[in-house]
Chains A and B, each alone.
Chain A
Amino acid sequence: ETGVTQSPTHLIKTRGQQVTLRCSSQSGHNTVSWYQQALGQGPQFIFQYYREEENGRGNFPPRFSGLQFPNYSSELNVNALELDDSALYLCASSLGSGRGTQYFGPGTRLLVL
């Protein structure tokens, strides 16, 4: 059974640029949630995708957008990057949009200069 994988592991961008982060969910899981974890803080919920549709969103601006593919892998896109977007971005997969156990990937560390 393959776990949750994320790519790239690290990324450096400059302000105003756009970035795409990728997540492959655990085999058999149809739900992916994305979180932003700033240094020294707990993860903050960005949004969740269930069967290719957005299924809930946290307090993040529209420049944070996502996509889920038929194989349930997912992308997180961030436009017009700001310095405060520097963080660890985590994705978590689960089975069903309910209270299924979330399995987290190792994260992508994004630095915006």
Chain B
Amino acid sequence: DSGVTQTPKHLITATGQRVTLRCSPRSGDLSVYWYQQSLDQGLQFLIHYYNGEERAKGNILERFSAQQFPDLHSELNLSSLELGDSALYFCASSVGASVSSYEQYFGPGTRLTVT
């Protein structure tokens, strides 16, 4: 158990819908990262928040948005869902602001299926 929690574990929804994925980082970690993992694309970095502020954006679509709240939990919002958005979404946390200086602890993931 990494100490990072993600809800829900599974999500099935229809095209055009909007969903929210939730992540709680490990106690004491200030950074939260979101990743998308699909079979053919590996782990794609989406976005990084540190202590409530956005630090970096990766390959995140405009239909996707995220935020980190004062209690440090984070939410990833996916809207106008398409079939291609079906994937495993991981949240990870680390103690520091630098993504490569600290090990990341990954949550169990949310499997999103868009039908």
A pairs with B: no
**What is the interface of chain A, defined by CB distance below 8 A to chain B?**
none
